Amino acid sequence: MTPTPPSYRRDSLRDDLLAAAIVAVLLIPQSIAYALLAGLPPQVGLYASVLPLVAYALVGASSLNAVGPAAVLALMTLQAIAPLAGQVDLSAAAVVLAAEVGLLLAAAAVLKLDALAALLSAPVLQGFSVGAAISIALSQLPALLGSPAHGVHLRALVDSWVESSRAGAWLHPTTAAFGVSSLVVLLVARRHLQPLAARWLSTDLAKLVARAAPLVVIAIATGLAWAFAAPSHGVTVVGPLPTLHLPLALPLFDAELWLLLLPSAALLALVTFVSSFAVAERLGLQRGEHVDGRRELAGLAAANLAAGVSGGMPVGGSFSRSALNAEAGARTRWAGAWTALFLALAALLLAAPLAWLPRTVLAATIVVPVLAAAEWKAFGLAWRYTRGEAALMGLVAAITVLHTAQWALGVGVLISIALMLQHAARPHAALIGRVPGTEHYRNVTRYATELTPGVLSLRVDESLLFVNARQLPGVVAKHLDAYPDTRRVVLQMTPVNRIDLSGLEALSTLQTVLRERGIRLDLSEVKGPVLDGLRAAQWSSWFAGRIYLSHHQAVRDEQGMAP
């Protein structure tokens, strides 16, 4: 879909460069903020914003996906590595986590597992979105108010805050004033700046201006902090970044650490793929661009592996930056590589002023978009639609806030599977009878039909697969209770598209059970590919019934063939 370098034309290059410059300006504070959110030094976020973007540009599927650190991934990274504090260097653990996420995504690409994305059903994703937004906002609250409190989940945070309050430091007024005023400006700008700017500017330009608001707030706050020497008034600033050089190295190989991080890595890989793919697909469809799931897996794998060898942290597609990328007119995946280049240059130039950026302002720039992007309305909608799914959504949100994202997603995925199996487990089999005077057979509960004594006709309404097959004998037995004088059971197989091994076994069990009651099992109207499969399995060695081309023949027992 996207042009490859040889056909990379001059106007594409110009548009990509412009979009890259705009995205890079947003990426600098975001990458630092997300690294701090994950409990890592600020430069880790910058490292995760260079090579991974180039790797995605080389391999990925979407022309618009802006890869790099992201808020939700940072929260999950924090919760995965924080329990290891004191045992390993957290930056080294983040690198291992990124490498592991990359390897899992690569394995999924090779094994064509993009369908696993379905595991994160809408209620799980939306509950998680709300819960993660609350968790992220809560995690920024101490920084915003100037408290030294911190914690991986709510209880730890509250405990820590209570403790620091006892030491007389529940908030720092100057810091809180800085932070809260930034928050208010950002909230007002988010709501009113775009319509205001649209009075004078084109819609597209107004959107860009509105998106620039956080940068203006950051620039002003940094200037004020420098002018008034904020640190000497007790306001925490980002502080000097170390000389930036990509620490190229293989991640620490410690089998125990890798195994310990594996469950978190698997869930991070799932969240990374699902959220990035959703962004890429939605933006792509607007342009008529198909995003290939396996290629997207490969691109994200490359990006995370790149983060894993260059001192980064787990990365994925960011919704806010991808949307900005699209609005700023990016044409090809190479915009991502240019973003990396601009970021590296800007980080060198801006390291000195960034050192003065108050952390409370950075916290405000995280909190506002995260809370705005959460799908708050989803819960009300779900409640009106299906209570069960709404309850699942609420549960996932609650576990995310009260415990950790990993547990919330794990529980959510398990419940989704359980719900699906509960719906799928009973194969539907309708009792059918003859429409009088015809050779048609229809559901006896919906049509006026006549039954043939001694013959029980059932239409199997689904493919016989492991999710439902085991219950087939029980379903047939229930119908037999109503017709105890049955001598033959004929299954009409028209709707059956596939029979897997579990389905084959269910048919065999059904026949055995029926035979012991002196009843013969026959089939009618078996689809060609299904019959071919049954023959390949040499089922004639055990199937003792007959196969009929039409159900009417089966009931009248004409022209049946051996299996």
Tell the smallest beta-carbon distance from residue 363 to a second copy (Å).
Answer: 31
Site for a second copy contains 505 (CB under 8 A): yes
The answer to whether the CB of 157 falls within 8 A of the CB of 446 is no
Which residue's CB is nearer to a second copy, number 192 or number 515? 515
Binding residue (CB under 8 A) for a second copy from 87, 165, 286, 559: 286
Cα-to-chain-centroid distance, residue 524: 43
Tell the smallest beta-carbon distance from residue 549 to a second copy (Å).
Answer: 19
Which residue's CB is nearer to a second copy, number 1 or number 398? 1
Phi, psi of 483 (to 5 degrees): -130, 75
Site for a second copy contains 465 (CB under 8 A): yes
What is the C-alpha radius of gyration for the chain, rounded to an integer number of angstroms? 30
Tell the smallest beta-carbon distance from residue 371 to a second copy (Å).
Answer: 21
Which residue's CB is nearer to a second copy, number 32 or number 409? 409
- Dist CA 551 CA 452 (whole Å): 12
The answer to whether the CB of 396 falls within 8 A of the CB of 408 is yes
Binding residue (CB under 8 A) for a second copy from 288, 437, 453, 528: 288
Tell the smallest beta-carbon distance from residue 123 to a second copy (Å).
Answer: 5
Binding residue (CB under 8 A) for a second copy from 156, 263, 424, 558: 424
In sequence order, the 6+-apart residues with CB closer than 8 A to the CB of 52 are 67, 68, 302, 303, 304, 306, 307, 310, 312, 315, 340
Candidates 19-27, 172-180, 186-194, 412-420; binding stretch for a second copy (CB under 8 A): 412-420
Task: Give the DSSP H/E element, type plus range, for residue 317.
Answer: strand 316-317
In sequence order, the 6+-apart residues with CB closer than 8 A to the CB of 213 are 185, 186, 189, 190, 193
Site for a second copy contains 16 (CB under 8 A): no
Site for a second copy contains 117 (CB under 8 A): yes
Map the footprint of a second copy across residues 215-274, applying CB under 8 A. Answer: none
Candidates 71-79, 168-176, 352-360, 469-477; binding stretch for a second copy (CB under 8 A): 469-477
Site for a second copy contains 418 (CB under 8 A): yes
Number of residues that bind a second copy (CB under 8 A): 61
Binding residue (CB under 8 A) for a second copy from 352, 477, 558, 559: 477
Binding residue (CB under 8 A) for a second copy from 9, 112, 155, 192: 112
Tell the smallest beta-carbon distance from residue 380 to a second copy (Å).
Answer: 9
Site for a second copy contains 537 (CB under 8 A): yes
Site for a second copy contains 481 (CB under 8 A): yes
- Dist CA 476 CA 468 (whole Å): 13
To 5 degrees, how large is the angle CA 107–CA 335–CA 330? 115
Tell the smallest beta-carbon distance from residue 504 to a second copy (Å).
Answer: 7
Burial of 115 (0-12, 13-18, 19+ CB in 10 A): exposed
To 5 degrees, how large is the angle CA 7–CA 13–CA 14? 145
Site for a second copy contains 500 (CB under 8 A): yes
Site for a second copy contains 118 (CB under 8 A): yes
Site for a second copy contains 107 (CB under 8 A): no
Site for a second copy contains 406 (CB under 8 A): no
The answer to whether the CB of 527 falls within 8 A of the CB of 504 is no
- Dist CA 367 CA 95 (whole Å): 25
β-bridge mates for residue 441, sequence order: 434
- Dist CA 178 CA 501 (whole Å): 66
Which residue's CB is nearer to a second copy, number 505 or number 557? 505
Binding residue (CB under 8 A) for a second copy from 17, 381, 444, 451: 381
In sequence order, the 6+-apart residues with CB closer than 8 A to the CB of 503 are 463, 464, 465, 466, 469, 472
Which residue's CB is nearer to a second copy, number 114 or number 557? 114
Cα-to-chain-centroid distance, residue 561: 50
Site for a second copy contains 422 (CB under 8 A): yes
Residue type (1 letter), 120 = L
Tell the smallest beta-carbon distance from residue 407 to a second copy (Å).
Answer: 13
- Dist CA 297 CA 393 (whole Å): 26
- Chain positions contacting a second copy, by CB under 8 A: 112-119, 121-123, 278, 281-282, 285-286, 288, 290, 381-382, 384-386, 389, 393, 416-418, 420-425, 465-470, 473-474, 477-478, 480-481, 498, 500-502, 504-505, 509, 512-513, 516-517, 533, 536-538
